[in-house]
Amino acid sequence: MATFGYTARDRDGVRVEGKLEAPDRRAALAQIERLGLMPVAVNEAGGGNGKKAKAEAPAKNKGATRWGRTPRPPRLRTRELLIFSREIRDLLSSGMTLSETLNTLAHHQTNPAAKQIVTALRDRIIGGSSLSAALGQWPDSFPPLYISMMRSGEASGDLSGVLDRVCLHYERVMAAREKVIQAMIYPMIIIVVGMATIVFAMIFVVPRFAATFRSLGSSLPLPTLILINGSNFLMHWGWLLLIVLVVGFTAFRRMIHTPKGEFWWHRQLLKMPLAKHIIASDAFGQFARTLGVLMSNGVPVLQALSIVEETMGNRVLAAEIREARSRVTDGTSISGPLAAGKIFPPLLTEMLAVGEKTGDLSGALNHIARRYDEELDRYMKIFTSLLEPMMILIMAVVVGFIAVSLLLAVFDLTSALKV
């Protein structure tokens, strides 16, 4: 049995120190929890192993991987953030304190990244930090919107109610995102299957027909010659074509991830037929939803606009919000500055103006968000109803060209044999 020294907190947050005997550190942690305490630090007393582990831990964290790269910090995705928020809300509503809630979550997490983040949050809360300050240590997992909402919940003393609104917000964000993904699944399947069919025909089917045609020595129709030459190019230079496509795609991705390239690409997206309506509807709905949640929690207008700017996925619209924020002078009216940019639609700014006049800006923003969610649904249905037959038609034309080109050559050869 080894002796472990521990530092813990009781249910009232009072610091407690002591020693106990246990076979290993895991058993020591279990004993501390059975005492009704929340462990903060547990080290083996008097042994070299505990000191060695304690000394080596920072080196492990600071060290790079064997490829010379620093390990990426753990990160919560949007869905995981929503689950985390639901769990905190439910446990707080049951009467647990925040430190007890985080301690419970830390011991029940199966996701390694989530466990590390929640454990770190628990330790900072036990150490006396506020939740919003602790969340700020994980900017990749908790966006400014989330941190500002928690800060407002701490100020009002209604953290559970704020978490309700946060969960509702992220549920709507996830629903809008899933609509776009689901709408693209079927067209992508058609593209993948169609391209695989074309490549198979060009590599395995056409060469066999070409060998037969060459053995017969007859002249071939122009479509058949084009098809055979294309097959030969694909078989001999397909690897080069693949390299060019991969390099071009990689260069394009890097270009659009630069500030200027990203701005240019987002501007082009807002000009594409039909796609611009989907992107704009999603962006305007997100703008109204996020701003409405912030305003309903008492976040000042200028700060709320700054947070909304950071959460906008389209850089062109984010830049317009930044310009509007610079034009807001009285700190309350935002409809006029947004309308001056000529990018936000008149209907949106007029509904905002009505909300400002009636004193129910958050209600007006909720109406705007619902309206653009409905617009997104409508445009997604139009997009999918047009895209699916268009993709089928394109694939049918390509496959049909291959089939007709081969049949023309066969008909010419059979005609020549009859003569």
* 197-213 pLDDT per residue, tens: 888 888 888 888 888 88
Six token digits for residue 237: 């230079």
Closest CA to 285 of 295, 275, 273, 293: 293
pLDDT per position as a tens digit, 44-72: 765 444 443 333 333 334 444 444 455 56
Asked if 6 and 21 touch (Cβ cutoff 8 Å), the reply is no
Q: How far apart, in whole angstroms, are the C-alpha atoms of residue 26 and residue 35?
A: 15
Backbone angles phi, psi at 69, to 5 degrees: -105, 145
Question: Sign of torsion, CA 282 285 291 292?
Answer: negative
Kindly give the parts of the chain with pLDDT less than 70: 9-14, 26, 33-34, 36, 38-40, 45-72, 218, 329-332, 416-419
DSSP state of 4: E
**Cα dist. 136→58, 148, 150, 158, 241 in Å?**
21, 10, 11, 20, 47
Interacting residues of 299 by C-beta distance below 8 A, sequence separation 6+: 148, 152, 307
Q: How far apart, in whole angstroms, are the C-alpha atoms of residue 347 and residue 324?
A: 17
Strand partners, 9: 15, 38
Written in H, E and C, the secondary structure of 354-409 is HHHHHCCHHHHHHHHHHHHHHHHHHHHHHHHHHHHHHHHHHHHHHHHHHHHHHHHH
Determine the pLDDT at residue 250. Answer: 93
SS3 content of the chain, % helix, strand, coil (to 5): 75, 5, 20
Determine the pLDDT at residue 55. Answer: 35
Q: How far apart, in whole angstroms, are the C-alpha atoms of residue 380 and residue 388?
A: 12
Six token digits for residue 189: 């399947």
Determine the pLDDT at residue 106. Answer: 84
Q: How far apart, in whole angstroms, are the C-alpha atoms of residue 15 and residue 19?
A: 14
Cβ-based neighbour number of residue 87 at 10 Å: 19
Backbone angles phi, psi at 200, to 5 degrees: -60, -45
Question: Sign of torsion, CA 132 134 137 138?
Answer: negative
Tell me the CA end-to-end span of the chain in Å, nearest whole number.
101
Closest CA to 163 of 329, 252, 293: 293
Q: How far apart, in whole angstroms, are the C-alpha atoms of residue 97 and residue 84?
A: 16
DSSP state of 269: H
Backbone angles phi, psi at 399, to 5 degrees: -65, -40
Alpha helices in 221-258 (DSSP H): 222-256
Alpha helices in 35-77 (DSSP H): 48-62
Determine the pLDDT at residue 257. Answer: 86
Instruction: Return left, alpha or beta for 36; rule: phi > 0 is left, psi -120 to 50 is alpha, else beta.
Output: left
Determine the pLDDT at residue 407. Answer: 86
Six token digits for residue 290: 């996020």
DSSP state of 43: E
* Beta strand extents in 2-146 (DSSP E only): 2-9, 15-22, 38-44
Element (H, E) at 208: helix 206-216
The total number of residues written for the chain in this structure? 419
Asked if 297 and 149 touch (Cβ cutoff 8 Å), the reply is yes
